Amino acid sequence: MSVKGRGGVGVGEMWSRNVVVSRNLALLLCFSSFFAGILFTNSHDYLLFWGGKYVSTDTIFTLKQKTVKNLRACDQKAKVGNRISNNSVGQISNTQNDISKFNSKISSIEMKLAAAKAEQQSLTSADAASGNLKRKYFMVIGINTAFSSRKRRDSVRATWMPQGEEKKKLEEKGIVIRFVIGHSSTAGGILDKAIEAEEMMHGDFLRLEHVEGYLELSSKTKTYFSTVVALWDADFYIKVDDDVHVNLATLGKILAGHKKKPRVYVGCMKSGPVLSKKGVKYYEPEYWKFGEAGNKYFRHATGQLYAISKDLATYISVNQHILHKYVNEDVSLGSWFIGLDVEHVDDKRLCCGTPPDCEWKAHLGSTCAVSFDWKCSGICKSVERMMEVHKTCGEDVSALDHASF
């Protein structure tokens, strides 16, 4: 005779139902753990941004092992429950079938993870054997250029951008410089072939997965930072236009003073007017987002040259698909840091004028890092005048040799 509870249900029956419910709850939690594991597995990146932290593939592999272990423990509990409760044979049988299917999937995942891990270790070993492991650099400088700017590039090569053996010494010192350009709208066309020929001659290009276009500069900026942070491990990543003059040692000394800051944004900060009249230069189609007519932009670095720390470049890379693009790329970059804990550094040595401005400043002992003409947003007639600016305002030829970053 069974003992009845208040509702007329036997204690034995109640106990049996509780076993089934507890077991089903345990299975549900296990399945949730399994799907969480799947979520971690579905990325092929070697570094994931998860919960505010970067998670490596080794961490993902460890999490997957724990998921497999927990699910198998659930399988054992289900089998024990099958022996305890004869009233749920049908339910447990179905559950075991599901678990069997999941076990097959787990085995498949384990094999794929093992293969991926082996491949990664193989690649790492190959890199180590060939000496290609990532080394630490101080700064990576990307010179933004276009298909039509061959003469500008040559004027830069003839002045402040080291060539040949000097370029190799510069990289040994921790400074990488590349002209940055994407592809034409006609892949493999005459424009791309011209860049390929120039690259064969000088070896100083960084090609981006990006279609060139004036209205695509913000997109190019995102792609640039995402690319260089993956290629070179550096303290700073810099974008500069191909019609400005740069003193590399002076630029390096300026940035070295901010080396220990994790999230720093360095440049000549400005807050110009938001131009709402269609057809004018620097017209902003989204002017209405900045308030009433006549309002100014938030503070941001002028586009001729700016530098950002590694953490900020990584932030752009991780979030590039959701960062909004304004028509002006310097405005876009500034907008991506609004709301973040970023230190804005305003240094006027990064926006000196051409002679006589940079010349008299050098005589006073304050050598400029960057020189250009505001009215031209670069050096006016830069192809003809770059050498003049270099001779008049360029730092001593041995400055880089003696500089320490």
pLDDT tens profile 128-141: 444 445 689 999 99
Please give the residue that has the higher pLDDT: either 379 or 89: 379
How far is 295 from 293, CA to CA, in rounded Å?
Answer: 6
pTM confidence score: 0.67
Highest mean pLDDT among 50-54, 113-117, 384-388: 384-388
Asked if residues 254 and 266 have their Cβ atoms less than 8 Å apart, the reply is yes
d(CA 64, CA 109): 9
At 45, the pLDDT band (50, 70, 90 cuts) reads very low
- Residue 116 pLDDT grade (very low, low, confident, very high; cuts 50, 70, 90): low
Q: How far apart are CA 342 and CA 108, in angstroms?
A: 44
* Residues 330-349: tens digit of each pLDDT: 999 999 999 999 999 999 99
Angle at 381 between CA 375 and CA 387, to 5 degrees: 115
CA atoms in the 13 A half-sphere facing the CB of 197? 9
Rounded Cα distance between 391 and 387, Å, is 6
pLDDT above 90 coverage of the chain, percent = 54
List the 343-346 sheet strands across, edge first.
Answer: 205-211, 175-183, 136-144, 233-241, 300-309, 264-270, 343-346
- pLDDT value of residue 294: 66
Residue with tokens 């590694």: 310
Higher pLDDT, 24 or 383: 383
Per-residue model confidence (pLDDT) at position 51: 43
Q: CB within 8 A of 72, min separation 6: which ones? A: 103
Could you give the residue ranges of the DSSP H alpha helices within 173-247?
190-202, 217-231
